[in-house]
Structure 1
């Protein structure tokens, strides 16, 4: 059986949830499959970025990112390579047409249906136009959580027997390290010389950063020492609104937007944090909390969508509409060393329940059932 994977997101969207998923899935499928079974459809010749030495599994395809969603060339490549099954990891967008072989799509979430106002207009248009056809023609759907699986059933009408839930995981780079060295890195690299709270995950309104800023504003004055709130991430149009909000609350000296940071810097940023807070209104899985927990950082997450399912007992939960509740949890963790230590241990234990190798093995099982 020869399996084709649309692997372009692994390089184009590295550092995002879909990019991380595609990167790690390809990397571990390479380890658990026979090499002759795989063909990674790849942009350009940057094969080494996946840390796979055998170039035979790669097939260069359309390199122009602006034409990423176009499908004209893919059926020809599938025929030429005698592909028996084709998998599209990025929500099925770019699925080949006409259909030349069994198709699998990973649908990470249905956010454009649930929170359309939080999605860019271009992607929203593509998603709403393409998703009905995608779900009709694919032979099987992979979902990253039971939450997403329920949405696929209830919102999109996908039969449950057509869905397999396969959890994601933190990348291996996320692990505990010396906290003082991590904080020294923060001081030298970003001039952060205070203990800090951390949020990672982008600036979409769906991420609900305003709640976190208000909660931090409420609790900051009651903490026994001066903390700051650190928010890394590539600036977007939503960033300007948040910056204005911070200025209105006179928190410019206490909230730091770091801008874009490299993936290999994030483990030290997580490890240096006193607490990680994830106030999102909706997630199909939610990698940042798992990354924080894998570093042993005390973690707080909102109690909606997939987050309670994923976090288990490894994080404390709060309502994403209750500022005071979040303020109280932040205060409790930052003023009770025993609670913080216990939460860090539970988070680390929970993060170890997830495995990219297991995800790859289960994905391969899905492929084999369809041959």
Structure 2
């Protein structure tokens, strides 16, 4: 019988430090917000988060490195149609420190992706001890495992229910969840990935 060995990608985990919301992000100090990081693209499914906002109290922050058309334009039109211009905040090409600040202070990271290559933003959020809400239909469950919350479907009311229930659970036992998430993140340290490859090569 052949042995299957899975070695996950590794990243440089964010340093344990305070990352303040300064400059253009200062207004977020007074707001609760959900965070999504990724290209504005249909497979990233940000539209489902837009449609969920009317059922939630939090704002939504979208961080994108690129905008794919026509999806990006459709997304903007949808935001306007729902009257959410003051609750959806879109940023692009931010620095590593700015990204860390957004991650550290968000209520949660939400990635309802329909397809993923791997999923680095959830690892980064988990490294900050922040709750993550993920799609079940991608590689994301390999990252979140039992420490993440998962969307059963992409219907707005159902997604809102999942987010509310997950945040309630987290806020009732924040230290427990924080420590479990931080511990989960260590599995994706690039040094552990390198050691796993070295161990495999030595065995072969």
> Cα distance 1:344–1:304, how it changes in 2: closer, same or farther (>3 A)?
farther
Displacement of 1:273 in angstroms is 0.4
Query: Which residue pairs with 1:347 in the alignment?
Result: 181
Counterpart for residue 52 of structure 2? 215
Alignment partner, residue 265 of structure 1: 98
* Partner in structure 1 of residue 115 of structure 2: 282
1:230 paired residue number: 61
Return the alpha-carbon distance in structure 1 between the equivalents of residues 150 and 24 of structure 2: 31
1:13 aligns to what? none
- CA pair 362-280 structure 1, distance change in 2 beyond 3 A: same
Q: 1:171 aligns with which of 12, 17, 28?
A: 12
Counterpart-to-counterpart distance in 2, 1:359 and 1:258: 31
Give TM-score scaled by structure 2 length.
0.83
| SS of residue paired to 1:197 | strand
Answer with 1 or 2: which has the greater Rg.
1
> How has the CA–CA distance of structure 1 residues 170 and 326 changed in structure 2, closer, same or farther, with 3 Å as cutoff?
farther
Gapped runs of 5+ residues in structure 1?
Answer: 1-159, 221-226
Give me the TM-score of the superposition, normalised by structure 1.
0.48
Q: Distance in 2 between matches of 1:174 and 1:203?
A: 27
Distance 2:128 2:121 in 1: 11
Residue aligning to 1:240: 73
Give, in whole Å, the separation in 2 of the partners of 1:339 and 1:325.
23
Q: How many residue pairs are counted as aligned between the two chains?
A: 198
Q: Secondary structure of 1:288's match? A: helix
Q: What's the offset of the Cα at 1:243?
A: 1.1
The partner residue of 1:360 within 190, 194, 197 is 194
Q: Are 1:197 and 2:34 matched, yes or no?
A: yes
Q: Deviations over 1:145-189 (max 9, x none)?
A: xxxxxxxxxxxxxxx77x7521123422254x44xx53x32xx23
Closer, same or farther in 2 for the Cα pair 1:253/1:324, shift >3 Å?
same
Change (3 A) 1:366 1:285: same
* 2:63–2:92 contact (8 Å) kept in structure 1: yes
